Amino acid sequence: MPDSPRFLMCPPDCYQVDYVINVWMEGNVDRSSRERAAEQWRGLHAVLQAHAEVELVPPAQGWPDMVFTANAGLVLGKTAIVSRFFHPERQGEEPHFKDWFEQAGFTVHELPEDLPFEGAGDALLDREGRWLWAGYGPRSELDSHPFLARWLGIEVLSLRLVDKRFYHLDTCFCPLAGGYLLYYPAAFDAYSNGLIERRVPAAKRFAVPEPDAVSFVCNAVNVGRKLIVNQAGEATRAWLGTAGFEVIETPLTEFMKAGGAAKCLTLRLDEAERADTRAIAAVESREVRLEGHLLDSGLLDRALDLIVDGAGSFQILEFNLGKQRQSTSDARLKVSAPSAEALERIMGQLIVLGAAGADGVGERGPRLEAVIQAGVAPADFSVTTIYPTEVKTARGWTRVEGQRMDGVIVVGSDGRAECRLIRDLQVGEQVVTGVDGIRLPRKTESREAAAEPGGAAADEFGFMGAGVSSERRVELVVEQIAWELRRIRDQGGKVVVVAGPVVIHTGGGAHLAGLIREGYVHVLLGGNAVAVHDMEQNILGTSLGMDMQRGVSVHGGHRHHLKVINTVRAHGGIAQTVAAGDLHGGVMYECVRRGVPFSLAGSIRDDGPLPDTVMDLLQAQADYARLIRGADMILMLSSMLHSIGVGNMTPAGVKLVCVDINPAVVTKLADRGSVESVGVVTDVGLFLSLLVAQLARLNGVHAAV
Ligand SMILES: NC(=O)c1ccc[n+]([C@@H]2O[C@H](COP(=O)([O-])OP(=O)(O)OC[C@H]3O[C@@H](n4cnc5c(N)ncnc54)[C@H](O)[C@@H]3O)[C@@H](O)[C@H]2O)c1
């Protein structure tokens, strides 16, 4: 039978579950029956022999998984790429399979020793021979794919496996004759699913239900229109029937205990080459360098995690470990991704961690694209972060001015670089796109800051460890904030307070007013409500109609805030109300008296609004941005809306303190990856009273709290 299909199998004489290298093996060590396994193997062999020629490789003592010949290697035409096993438990199979391929007359290729690739378990030819589907993640490395493309002269489509039950591509993916496909989509990441959907028309692919997937229906041997499987459920059978396939079931439960079924037990040997295929692998790689306290600050971990989460893979090419506690380490990594876009996404994130290109590419200038519609950026624009950023321009590495997050970088003809909001872009301006020519020189995170998040260990502003302080730490944190506030005031620095109305409701208004009076606050940012409630309290003695002294609601109090708004509107604004003698104390009064600039940003729920409230939000954003410029510290007091707004505008390096009763809000604000932010989960009224008391203590005054 010269044209009959040929398969390689390995008798199960040495087969048993001896170790655990996948989730199927867990709990099955020594639980497989040799006799039943032999009987089931003979069953498969017989079925296969009815439709194909079967050759045998002799089993080798001590290598129980040799029975799974799909992992011997990958064959196309007269070429065989022998496997490089990921687990040492299987690496001893490699020379046996290599010998067999050589004796069978194949031209054998071997991958570099540290590059795992598990053969036809992770590489499946489209049954029309047009391309090769190649899996990566649990066992095979993405970096093996370009070798496959080159040696086999075929296009390789990389698919990332994300479900540990489906650790090889052939456990969840089965290309069929006629361009059909059985697969289990949940075993793949979104990018891979998109790739599958683009290559195989909907009418030709069937997403198997989970019960079928875990019975390894995709681990099937396809010979012509026959499909040999362990077991197939009704829906899968029906679809296969309609597509013109005949299902032949043969029980392989003993092998399922090791995570394999029909396909794993066979290797197709007569894969025909097509004349019209070309070597193509979309895999892209770049080298990057990371420096800093890579291990103790967790930077290396974070970098590797984000590469893997971004569907990429990595090799550590070089690692120089700093020997002293204070010395830094550096690493050179090769980062690979299944496509140029995926690599660019990963690189964008690595750059934020402070990585720099180490392959010369990072030394190229940025890709600049002109704005062709005002207020609209070129599609591939780079997004800015809070971190100081440099761009390679005609002037060399140039610091981006006006750094903030969620902006874009505009490079002028003079080589200056500036951070700009998209809406402010003008036609013709040159915007940085992609990831080349950008770097974020990050300050090295200290070992102490990393070791003690939120802790008070280090020298200046020690508690600032991007940590969230729990209740028992509040006093400690307050002591340090008080210390900083005094230092900044005495050195002529700038403190911005962002406050919500809760400050007033919780009785913190008088404390905040005191801080303004004492010169600790240099800008106040808020909304309509904080001002309305502060003035209600100071004009009528209530906050939202509640008597602040007695804690009871006042008859007709629900009208109070409107009465206050009405009064201020009658005067034409807050400053005018103070000047007219109708406002005698409180937060807004102190701002006016001390000339502390404030901005009240409007919102959809505002009553009134006050004449001072800026209802043009773009104007309000611009006012906020202008007022926070040059700030040394920003205290964010119980206003999620305004605090997040301010957080987005603030570059790294400004000390941020976020006080909120809700840990989620605090985490969101403090978690900017910046060592200068701290969150305090507590009642804002309590926080302010502690702060004022601590300042009084520092100043040698006893304050009544
Ligand atoms: N009458 C009005 O005009 C009026 C009234 C209310 C709000 N507003 C406006 O609505 C917008 C959003 O208001 P917001 O900033 O109050 O709401 P917000 O929801 O953005 O923030 C309030 C924050 O306070 C926190 N909080 C609640 N109790 C606390 C406590 N005891 N201690 C510490 N934190 C506490 C909450 O967890 C929340 O994160 C603002 O623009 C505001 O001016 C207007």
pLDDT in tens, 455-479: 333 333 444 444 555 555 788 889 9
For 468, phi then psi, to 5°, come to: -105, 125
Of 610, 584, 613, the residue nearest 525 (C-alpha)? 613
| Active-site residue flag, 264 | yes
pLDDT of residue 287: 87
pLDDT of residue 18: 84
Q: Which atom of ligand 1 is nearest to the CA of 609?
A: 3
Q: Which atom of ligand 1 is nearest to the CA of 505?
A: 31
Q: Which of 528, 542, 637 to mutate to test the pocket of ligand 1 (most atoms within 8 A of CB)?
A: 528
pLDDT of residue 354: 79
Centroid of ligand 1 to alpha carbon of 646 (angstroms): 15
β-bridge mates for residue 157, sequence order: 133
Centroid of ligand 1 to alpha carbon of 557 (angstroms): 20
pLDDT of residue 472: 56
Q: Which atom of ligand 1 is nearest to the CA of 665?
A: 39
Q: Which of 544, 603, 658 to mutate to test the pocket of ligand 1 (most atoms within 8 A of CB)?
A: 603
Mean predicted confidence (pLDDT) in 280-294: 87
Q: Which of 469, 471, 502, 616 to mutate to test the pocket of ligand 1 (most atoms within 8 A of CB)?
A: 502
Question: In the CATH hierarchy, which fold is given to the domain comprising 283-362?
Answer: Alpha-Beta Plaits (3.30.70)
pLDDT of residue 672: 62
β-bridge mates for residue 669, sequence order: none
Centroid of ligand 1 to alpha carbon of 601 (angstroms): 13
Distance in Å from the first CA to the final CA of the chain: 98
Least confident of 188-197, 215-224, 328-337: 328-337
Cβ-based neighbours of 515, under 8 Å, separated by 6 or more: 485, 497, 521, 688, 691, 692, 695
pLDDT of 673 > 60? The answer is no
Q: Which atom of ligand 1 is nearest to the CA of 613?
A: 43
pLDDT of residue 362: 52
Q: Dihedral, CA atoms, 679, 683, 688, 694, nearest 10 degrees? A: -80
pLDDT of 310 > 80? The answer is yes
Q: Which atom of ligand 1 is nearest to the CA of 606?
A: 3
Centroid of ligand 1 to alpha carbon of 524 (angstroms): 15
Mean predicted confidence (pLDDT) in 212-222: 96
Q: How far apart are CA 192 and CA 257, in angstroms?
A: 28
Q: Which two tokens stand for residue 45?
A: 């062999």
pLDDT of residue 674: 55
Catalytic residue (one of 168, 511, 522, 560): 168
Catalytic residue (one of 172, 174, 218, 264): 264
pLDDT digits (tens, 9 = 90+) for 483-497: 999 999 999 999 999
Same fold, 6-281 and 364-442: no
Q: Which residue is closest in CA terms to ligand 1's atom 12?
A: 641
pLDDT band for position 48 (50/70/90)?
A: very high
Centroid of ligand 1 to alpha carbon of 68 (angstroms): 63
pLDDT band for position 363 (50/70/90)?
A: low
pLDDT of residue 6: 96
Q: Which of 641, 643, 666, 681 to mutate to test the pocket of ligand 1 (most atoms within 8 A of CB)?
A: 641
**CB environment 242-281: b (16+ within 10 A), e (fewer):** ebebebbbbebebbbbbbbbbbbbbbbbebeeeeebeebb
Exposed, middle or buried by CB within 10 Å (0-12, 13-18, 19+), for 53? middle
The three-class DSSP label of residue 687 is helix
pLDDT of residue 546: 77
pLDDT of residue 468: 52
pLDDT of residue 666: 87
pLDDT of residue 324: 76
Q: Which of 569, 638, 648 to mutate to test the pocket of ligand 1 (most atoms within 8 A of CB)?
A: 638
Centroid of ligand 1 to alpha carbon of 530 (angstroms): 8
Centroid of ligand 1 to alpha carbon of 643 (angstroms): 10
pLDDT of 450 > 90? The answer is no
| Active-site residue flag, 96 | no
Segment holding 637, helix H or strand E: strand 633-637
In angstroms, the Cα distances linking 247 to 125, 171, 214, 308, 595 are 20, 17, 17, 37, 84
Query: pLDDT > 90: what percent of the chain?
Result: 67
Q: How far apart are CA 288 and CA 351, in angstroms?
A: 9
pLDDT of residue 444: 54
Mean predicted confidence (pLDDT) in 416-424: 95
Centroid of ligand 1 to alpha carbon of 563 (angstroms): 21
pLDDT of residue 456: 34
Choose between 310 and 98: higher pLDDT: 98
SS (H, E, C) 133-189: EEEECCCCCHHHHHHHHHHHCCEEEEEEECCCCCCCHHHCEEEEHHHEEEECHHHEC
Enter the DSSP assignment of 51: T
Centroid of ligand 1 to alpha carbon of 509 (angstroms): 14
SS (H, E, C) 272-335: CCCCCCCCEECCEEEEEEEEECCCCCCHHHHHHHHHHHCCCEEEEEEEECCCCCCCCEEEEEEE
* Domain-wise residue ranges, the chain: 6-281, 283-362, 364-442, 453-532+584-698
Q: What is the mean pLDDT of the chain?
A: 89
pLDDT digits (tens, 9 = 90+) for 72-129: 999 999 999 999 999 999 999 999 999 999 999 999 999 999 899 999 999 999 999 9
Q: Which atom of ligand 1 is nearest to the CA of 533?
A: 1
Q: If one looks up domain 453-532+584-698 in CATH, what number appears? A: 3.40.50.10690
pLDDT of residue 94: 97
pLDDT of residue 459: 35
| Contact residues of ligand 1, CB 6 A cut-off | 500-502, 506, 527-529, 532, 561, 603, 605-607, 638-642, 660-662, 665, 683-684
Q: Which atom of ligand 1 is nearest to the CA of 530?
A: 43
Cα angle 207, 209, 213 (rounded to 5 degrees) comes to 90
Centroid of ligand 1 to alpha carbon of 172 (angstroms): 50
Q: If one looks up domain 6-281 in CATH, what number appears? A: 3.75.10.10
Cβ-based neighbours of 231, under 8 Å, separated by 6 or more: 212, 215, 216, 217, 249, 251
For 100, phi then psi, to 5°, come to: -65, -45
pLDDT digits (tens, 9 = 90+) for 499-533: 999 999 999 999 999 999 999 999 999 999 999 99
Q: Which residue is closest in CA terms to ligand 1's atom 24?
A: 638
Choose between 437 and 567: higher pLDDT: 567
In angstroms, the Cα distances linking 76 to 110, 151, 270, 282 are 14, 10, 7, 20
Choose between 579 and 680: higher pLDDT: 579
pLDDT of residue 447: 47
Q: Which residue is closest in CA terms to ligand 1's atom 19?
A: 640
Query: pLDDT > 70: what percent of the chain?
Result: 92
pLDDT digits (tens, 9 = 90+) for 125-147: 999 999 999 999 999 999 999 99
Question: In the CATH hierarchy, which fold is given to the domain comprising 364-442?
Answer: 2.40.420
pLDDT of residue 652: 83
- Residue type present at position 663: P
Mean predicted confidence (pLDDT) in 319-342: 85
Q: How far apart are CA 503 and CA 494, in angstroms?
A: 21
Q: Which atom of ligand 1 is nearest to the CA of 641?
A: 20
> How many Cα atoms occupy the beta-carbon half-sphere of 353 within 13 Å?
25
Q: Where are the beta strands (DSSP E) in 295-451?
A: 313-320, 329-337, 356-357, 367-370, 390-393, 396-399, 408-411, 417-420, 430-433, 438-439
